Amino acid sequence: MSKKPLKEEILGTIKEMDLRPDEVELLEDCEMVTNIIIGEVLEMFDDPEMREDILWLQHEHRTPNKQRWINIVELTKSLWGKAGGGDRIKKYHTIESPCREITEEEIESINDPVARETIRKIKHIHDNTLERITRVASKCYYK
C-alpha cells in the first residue's frame, strides 16, 4: 500500500481538524507548555485523560528536546559554579523575602553603600521576572 503524498496528508489533516491560521500559535503554545510541566505540576491536573495527553506529547518531543535538556544541565552547572555553589545559593534564598519587606528608610540607614545597593537589587530583582526567565531559557535553545 502506498503512502499519501506529503501535501495530500497535510491538507487532509488540516481539513479534518478544520485548522485555521489563527489557531497555529495556540496549538504550538499547547505543545510548548508541556515542555515546562514537571511531575509536581502534572499531578495537579484533575483530568486523567489530559495527564495522559501531556505525557504523550512530552514523549513525542523527547528527541527534539534532548539537546535543550543537555543545555539546561550545562547552564545550571555553569550558573552554580559562577554563583559559588549550592550553599551560597541557599544562603541567598534566606534573605530574598526579608529584602522585599525592608523599607527604604531602613535601607538608607545602612552605612555600607555596597550593602545598600545589594539590598535594593534583591528587593527589586523580581520586578522583571519574565525578562530574566526569557533570557535564561533562551540560552537553552541553542545547540
Predicted TM-score (pTM) of the model is: 0.77
Query: What mean pLDDT, rounded, does the chain reach?
Result: 92
Segment holding 97, helix H or strand E: helix 86-101
Domain assignments of the chain as residue spans, ordered by start:
6-60, 65-141
What's the Rg (C-alpha) of the chain? 23
The predicted structure's pLDDT at residue 36: 87
The predicted structure's pLDDT at residue 64: 85
Q: Which three cell numbers stand for residue 140?
A: 537553552
* Whether residue 98 has pLDDT greater than 90: yes
For residue 68, the tally of other CB atoms under 10 A from its CB is 16
Contact between 68 and 140 under an 8 Å Cβ cutoff? The reply is yes
Contact between 90 and 73 under an 8 Å Cβ cutoff? The reply is no
Rounded Cα–Cα distance for residues 59 and 51 (Å): 12
